[in-house]
A and B are shown apart, each in its own frame.
Chain A
Amino acid sequence: MRALLRDNDRITPFELAVLMVIVTLEMGVTTFPRTMTEKVGTESWLIPLPGFLFSLLAVYFLVRLSKLFPGKTFVEYSQEILGSIIGKLFVIIVIAFWVSTSARILRQFADVMKVNLLFRTPIEVIIFSMLLFAAYPARYGIEPMARLAIIVAFVTIPVGLFLFAFVIPQAKFDNLLPVFAQGPLLLLKAGFLSVGSLEGIELLLVLLPFITQPRKSLKASTWALAVLWSIIFIVNGVVLAVFGEKEVMYLLRPGLTIIQTIELPTLFVERLSSVYVATWVALIFPSISMFLFLASTSLAKLFGLKEQKILIYPLTPVIFALAILPSNVLEVENIANFLEQIGVFIIGIMPLFLFLIAKIRKKGGSY
Chain B
Amino acid sequence: MVFREWRIGGEQGFDAALIFVEGMVDKTVINEEILRPLMFEVEETKVDKATSNEEFYHFILKSALSVADIKEVEEYDTSVFHLMAGMVVFLIDGFSKAILIEAKGWEHRGITEPETETIIRGPRDGFSETLRVNTALIRRRIRDPNLKIETIQIGRRTKTDIALLYMADIAEPKILDDVKGRLNDIDTDSILESGYLEQFIEDTWLSPFPQVQATERPDEVAAGLLEGRVGILTDNTPFALLVPATLNSLMQSSEDYYQRWLIGSFTRLIRFFANFLALVLPSLYIALTSFHPEMIPTRLALSIAASREGVPFPAFMEAFIMEGAIELLREAGVRLPSPIGQTVGIVGGLIIGEAAVSANIVGSIMVITVALTAISSFAVPTYDVAIAFRLLRFFLMIMATFLGLYGIILGLMIILSHMATLKSFGVSYLSPWSPFAPSDLKDSLIRSPIMAMRKRPSFMSTKDPDRMDVNRRDPEEKRNGEADK
A residues near B (Cβ < 8 Å) are 1-2, 4-6, 12, 14-15, 18, 113, 117-118, 121, 125-126, 129-130, 133, 136-137, 140, 144-148, 150-152, 154, 266-271, 274-275, 278, 281-282, 285, 289
Q: Is the CB of B403 within 8 A of A129?
A: yes
User: What are 19 contact pairs spanning A and B, CB under 8 A?
Assistant: A1-B458, A2-B461, A4-B459, A5-B427, A18-B436, A118-B403, A125-B403, A129-B410, A133-B413, A136-B418, A147-B435, A150-B435, A151-B416, A151-B420, A266-B298, A269-B296, A274-B405, A278-B409, A282-B412
Residues on B with beta carbons closer than 8 Å to the beta carbon of A271: 292, 294-295
Inside 8 A of B52's CB, which chain A residues have their CB?
none
Q: How far is the CA of A145 from the CA of B413 in the complex (A)?
A: 11
Which 7 residue pairs are nearest across A and B when measured between Cβ atoms? A147-B420, A150-B434, A137-B417, A281-B409, A144-B420, A147-B434, A144-B421
- Given A15-B435, A118-B291, A270-B297; A137-B409 close (CB under 8 Å): no
Give A283 Cβ to nearest chain B Cβ, in Å: 10
- Whether A150 contacts B174 in the complex (CB less than 8 A), given A5-B459, A117-B292, comes out as no
How far, in angstroms, from A278 to B280 measured CA to CA in the complex?
Answer: 14
Query: Whose C-beta in chain B lies nearest to the C-beta of A4?
Result: B435
Interface pair B298/A113, CB less than 8 Å apart? no
Nearest chain A residue, comparing its CB with the CB of B440? A1
Whether A1 pairs with B437 at a CB distance below 8 angstroms is yes
| Distance in angstroms between the alpha carbons of A113 and B409 in the assembled complex | 12
> Judging by beta carbons under 8 Å apart, are A154 and B433 in contact?
yes
A268 proximity list for chain B (CB < 8 A) = 297
Q: A262 to B412: give the CA distance in the assembly, Å.
A: 27
B433 to chain A, nearest CB (A): 6
Query: Is B426 positioned at the interface, with any CB of A under 8 Å from its CB?
Result: yes
By a CB distance below 8 angstroms, the chain B residues around A137 are: 417, 420-421
Indicate the member of B172, B292, B427 with the most A CB atoms within 10 Å. Answer: B292
Residues of A within 8 A of B426 (CB): 5-6
B interface: dominant SS: helix
Beta-carbon contact of B420 and A117 below 8 Å: no
Q: Which residues of A contact B459 (CB under 8 A)?
A: 1, 4-5
Most buried by A among B403, B404, B418: B403
Which B residue sits closest to A1, measured CB to CB?
A: B458
Q: Which residues of A contact B433 (CB under 8 A)?
A: 150-151, 154
Asked if A117 meets B413 with Cβ closer than 8 Å, knowing A15-B435, A147-B430, the reply is: no
Decide if B291 touches A117 in the complex (CB within 8 Å).
yes
Q: Is B406 an interface residue (CB 8 A)?
A: yes
What residues of chain B lie closer than 8 Å to A117, measured between beta carbons?
Answer: 291-292, 404-406
Closest to B293 in A: A270
**Distance in angstroms between the alpha carbons of A341 and B482 in the assembled complex:** 69
B304 → chain A closest CB, angstroms = 12
Interface contact A274-B292, CB-CB below 8 Å? yes
B406→A274 contact, CB < 8 A: no
Q: Are A5 and B461 in contact (CB under 8 A)?
A: yes
**Is there a chain A Cβ closer than 8 Å to B414's Cβ?**
yes
> Quick check: A130 and B410 within 8 Å, CB to CB?
yes
Tell me the dominant secondary structure on chain A's binding face: helix
A118, A136, A275: the one contacting B406 at CB < 8 Å is: A118
Instruction: Find out whether the CB atom of A144 lies under 8 angstroms from the CB atom of B417.
Output: yes
Residues from chain B with Cβ under 8 Å of A282 in the complex: 409, 412-413
- When chains A and B are docked, how far (Å) is the Cα of A15 from the Cα of B420? 13
Distance (whole angstroms) from the CB of A107 to the closest CB of chain B: 15
Which residue of B291, B301, B404, B436 has the most chain A CB atoms within 10 A of its CB atom?
A: B436
Q: Which residues of B contact A270 (CB under 8 A)?
A: 294-298, 301
Known: A6-B426, A137-B420. 7 other contacts (CB 8 A): A1-B459, A117-B291, A136-B417, A148-B434, A150-B434, A270-B295, A285-B413
Q: Could you say which residues of chain A place their CB within 8 Å of the CB of B434?
A: 146-148, 150-151
Chain B 294-330 near chain A by CB (<8 Å), digits 1 or 0? 1111100100000000000000000000000000000
- Please tell me which one of the listed residues A14, A18, A151 contacts residue B430 in the complex, with CB atoms under 8 A apart: A151
| Chain B CB within 10 Å, residue with most, of A2, A6, A144, A145 | A144
Closest to A279 in B: B409
Q: Is B377 an interface residue (CB 8 A)?
A: no
Using known A-B contacts A117-B404, A126-B406, determine if residue A150 contacts B436 with beta carbons closer than 8 Å: yes
**In the complex, how many angstroms separate the beta carbon of B415 from the nearest chain A beta carbon?**
10
Tell whether B428 is near chain A: CB-to-CB under 8 Å: yes
Instruction: List A contacts of B174 (CB < 8 A).
Output: 5-6
- A residues near B435, Cβ cutoff 8 Å: 4, 12, 15, 146-147, 150
Q: Which residues of B contact A121 (CB under 8 A)?
A: 403
A14 lies within 8 A of B410 (CB): no
Alpha-carbon gap, A145 to B295, bound state (A): 31
Quote the shortest CB–CB distance from B442 to chain A (angstroms): 15
Question: Closest A-chain residue to B175, C-beta based?
Answer: A5
Given A133-B410, A266-B298, are A14 and B461 also a contact pair (CB < 8 Å)?
A: no
CB of B274 to closest CB in A, whole Å = 17
Residues in chain B near residue A118, CB distance under 8 A: 291, 403-404, 406
- By a CB distance below 8 angstroms, the chain A residues around B403 are 118, 121, 125-126, 129
Closest to A272 in B: B295
Q: A240 to nearest B CB, angstroms?
A: 27
A281 neighbours in B (Cβ, 8 Å): 406, 409-410, 413
Please, which residue of chain A has its CB at the minimum distance from the CB of B244? A5
C-alpha gap A257/B418 in the complex (Å) = 33
Instruction: Please pick, from A129, A144, A146, A269, the residue contacting B295 in the complex, using a CB distance under 8 A.
Output: A269
Q: What is the bound-complex CA distance between A270 and B294, given in angstroms?
A: 7
Chain A residue contacts of B297, Cβ below 8 A: 266-270
Q: Is the beta-carbon distance between B295 and A148 smaller than 8 angstroms?
A: no
**A2 to B459 alpha-carbon distance, docked (Å):** 8
* A354 CB, nearest partner CB in chain B, Å: 31
Q: CB distance B420 to A278 under 8 Å?
A: no
* A22, chain B: closest CB distance, angstroms: 12
CA distance A152 to B418 in the complex (A): 13
Q: Which residues of B contact A289 (CB under 8 A)?
A: 417
Separation of A268 and B298 alpha carbons in the complex (Å)? 10
Residues of B within 8 A of A129 (CB): 403, 407, 410
**B172 CB contacts on chain A under 8 angstroms:** 5
In whole Å, how far is B168's beta carbon from the nearest beta carbon of chain A?
18
| A148-B420 in contact (CB<8A) | yes
Q: Which residue of A lies closest to B407 (CB)?
A: A129
Flag if B461 contacts A1 (CB, 8 Å).
yes
- Taken together as a complex, chains A and B put the C-alpha atoms of A147 and B417 apart, in Å, by 8
Taking CB atoms, residues of chain B closer than 8 Å to A136 are 414, 417-418
Chain B residue at smallest Cβ distance from A280 = B409
B296, closest chain A residue (CB):
A270
User: What distance in Å separates the Cβ of B150 from its nearest Cβ neighbour in chain A?
Assistant: 22
B406 neighbours in A (Cβ, 8 Å) = 113, 117-118, 126, 278, 281
What's the minimum C-beta distance from B281 to chain A, rounded to whole angstroms? 13
Most A CB atoms within 10 A — which of B296, B409, B413, B418? B413
Bound together, the chains give a CA A147 to CA B459 distance in angstroms of: 14
User: Which residues in window 113-171 of B have CB below 8 A to A?
Assistant: none
Minimum CB–CB distance for A213 against chain B, Å: 13
- Closest A residue to B287 by beta carbon equals A117
In the complex the two chains form, what is the Cα distance from A154 to B441 in whole Å? 13
| Minimum C-beta distance from B431 to chain A (A) | 9
Interface members, chain B 384-433 (any A CB < 8 Å): 403-410, 412-414, 416-418, 420-421, 426-428, 430, 433
Interface centre among B172, B174, B291, B405 (most CB of A within 10 A): B405
Which chain B residues border A145 with CB–CB below 8 Å? 420
Q: Are B428 and A147 in contact (CB under 8 A)?
A: yes
From B430, which residue of chain A is reached at the shortest CB distance?
A147
| C-alpha gap A152/B174 in the complex (Å) | 30
Cβ B421 vs Cβ A140 within 8 A: yes
In Å, the complex CA distance between A268 and B437 comes to 33
